[in-house]
Structures are given as structure tokens and as C-alpha cells.
Amino acid sequence: MEVVILPGSKQIGALAADAIEALLRRKPNAILGLATGSSPLPIYDELARRHEQKGLDFSQAHGFALDEYVGLEPGHPESYREVIRREFTNRVNIKPENVHGPDGAAQDILASCQAYEDAMKALGGVDLQILGVGTDGHIGFNEPGSSLASRTRIKTLIEQTRKDNARFFKSIDDVPHHVITQGLGTIMDARHVVLVATGAQKAQAVRDFVEGPVSAICAASVLQLHPHATILIDEAAASSLKLADYYRHTYDNKPEWQGL
């Protein structure tokens, strides 16, 4: 796990976009894992800018959404399929048919989850997975207590997550109780994971998953076991880390050939 502490979200977005641009230039048909929420937005803004101004090409790429609410009507503005379309894929030249998401309206949820796993495998697996992290350490919607080996499945949201997401809805009563999410085992299959966290409200979660024990109570801690996990955080999110100075020193002296 590499921890990179940067001044703010703009620098974080640029560095993550560097990794994605390098991936697309060496592998134009790369598979991107797409997260929602506020954390990835600087990445998507920077990728859209590079597409518009530099011609960064997404025409052969595929995107797989990390999760989706269960029970929202098709086209609901807060469904994650719509959020990803609005915030990212409509702003670049990725083909609409190459953007995939879990089906929160499926009649057979179990079969739908397996089909989603199969679709990722059929295309060779995710090359780079973008992640945020919740205040309780969840990634995707793998809430505390999730199996570290879990696959794509239905999950019940804890009330804190519903409260955190209520800002996107008219009220908390409109936030669904259930979601489909890629499991922790599914996320760990990605060849490169880039997790973004900003703000003091994420400092406890960052400390727990970076420097605490690997445990189901903090789902993101499983990334300590990933062979290529990059953690991009701002100073506020890094404020509780015991080894923050070491992470800064390591990154400042990193050989250029290593990349992100």
C-alpha cells in the first residue's frame, strides 16, 4: 500500500488522472472501475478536461460501476448509473454500451450479481479501480462486518451510511435501505486500486484502514493485502496518521521509473 499525501483535491485528481491516462495510452481497451460520491469528482473533472483539451481517448475502454441502489426507478437522478453518466461518461467519448452497472431493479438479484461478476471476468477483469472510503471505513457498500472475501451481492445499509447519503436526496426517508455492491474480494481482483479520501471527517477511517489491523470491522483495511493499492489523501485526511512524515518522505524520494 502506497500512501501519498497531497495539498488538496485538485492535486489528488491530477495524480489519479495521470495513472489512468498512462493506463489508457498503453492499453486503450482498459477496464476502469468507477466509483460515485464526492471523492472521485476531481478525477472525473480532470479526465474530462484531458479528453477535451488533449484528446485523451476512451473509445475502446469499458467502465464498471462499483455499486447501485436497489429499488430506485430507472433514470432516477441519484441512481449511480445516472450519477456516473452525468459526472463522467457523458463528458468523454466512452461508448454508452461499454458502461456497465449492477441492476438494482433485477427480479433475480442473485443471478444478476453473478452475471455482473461474469461480465467483468469476460473482459479480462478491472485494470484500475477508483474508490472512496466512508467515515466508518466502508468501500463500495461493504459495510462494517463484510466478509473480506465477499463478491458482488445485495447489502443492507447501516443508518450512518444512509445519513451520509441523505444529502443527495430530499430526505433520509428517500434513501434506499438496500444496495448491490461489488464485494471486497471482487475489488481485490482489480490490478490497481486508487483510493481517494479528503477532509478531516475521513481522518479516523484513513488511520484505521492504513495503520490499523486488517479486520472486517473496517472493510477498507483489506487493501493492506492488495499488491498495488495507492491511497491519495489530503493533509486533513492524513492528520491522524502516525507515519505521515514517513509517507511524505517516501513519496518525495520515489524513483520516477516506479510510477503510481
CA distances, 48 to each of 14, 121, 246, 253 (Å): 11, 27, 33, 30
Specify the DSSP element, H or E, that contains 65.
strand 62-65
Cα R_g (the chain), whole angstroms: 17
Out of 45, 68, 103, 138, the active site residue is 138
Nearest 10 degrees: CA dihedral of 41, 24, 91, 120?
A: -80
Contact 211, 144 (CB under 8 A): no
Q: How far apart are CA 43 and CA 41, in angstroms?
A: 5
Let me know: does 203 contact 240? Beta carbons within 8 Å.
Answer: yes
57 is catalytic: no
Closest Cα to residue 137, out of 166, 115, 158? 158
Catalytic residue, chosen from 136, 189, 208, 234, is 136
Strands 128-131 and 178-181: unpaired
Catalytic hit among 45, 46, 67, 127: 67
- Residue 46 annotated among the catalytic residues of the structure: no
Tell me the three state secondary structure of residue 79: coil
Residues sharing a CB contact under 8 Å with residue 160, sequence separation 6 or more, in sequence order = 134, 135, 136
Contact 176, 70 (CB under 8 A): yes
Q: Which of 45, 143, 189, 208 is catalytic?
A: 143
- CA-based angle 231:237:33, to the nearest 5? 35
- C-alpha pair distances (Å), 212 with each of 76, 221, 243: 38, 7, 12
Q: Point out the residues that are catalytic.
A: 67, 136, 138, 143
